[in-house]
Amino acid sequence: MKLFIHISFSLLIAQGAIFSQSFNVDEQVVTIAGDATVSDISNNTDLNALTNASLSWSVSNTSIPLGWEYSFCFPNCYAIGQTSGTLNITAGESYYLNCHVYPNDISGEGSITMLIAENNGSSMEVTWEINAGIANLDENSLHSQEANIKAIFNIEGKRFTELIKNQIQFIVFEDNSMKKIFITE
């Protein structure tokens, strides 16, 4: 009986070693928000290598307005339209993973999902949720809507937890409406 338990435990450990994932990603859902009239909005996360491995990546799902384009930096930047690639990772290293969206003056919402897979069959998805609007610039005018803020972004699409003075910011509210503001005081 002890031999059976020992063999079972050894097989379980070996199976875990064979199918364990060689990487993790800081954020699996990344928000991009910005003005549709800006040529490029983007946001990034990092892939962290736990072991040496060869990865492949591909776009597994897109739901974006007609006329939008996108590209990736992982960690090298790829041309618009490239939807797959490979990456060799080294244990202990972090790799920049970025999605650029080119709204081409078309406001809307969408999402882009990238599947990252390794040879042993394990995989992980990263999804960028995008909100590109055309908003009028308001100075210091949030008032009663301030309690319904869902997210705050600067013009480059970087997310903030609070409003910052003397900088154009995009406020996304709980109802997914958006306002572009400039806080002066």
One domain, residues 30 and 99: yes
Percentage of residues in the chain having pLDDT higher than 70: 81
The parent domain of residue 154 ranges over 135-185
Q: Taking the complete model, does pTM exceed 0.75, yes or no?
A: no
Sequence-distant (≥ 6) Cβ neighbours of residue 46 within 8 angstroms: 25, 26, 94, 95, 96, 97
Domain membership flag for residue 155: yes
pLDDT exceeds 80 at position 67: yes
Domain membership flag for residue 16: no
Tens digits of per-residue pLDDT, 92-123? Answer: 999 999 999 999 988 888 999 999 999 888 99
d(CA 179, CA 185): 18
Spatial contact of 171 and 31, defined as CB atoms under 8 Å apart? no
Domain membership flag for residue 148: yes
Give me the CATH number covering residue 68. 2.60.40.10
One domain, residues 163 and 104: no
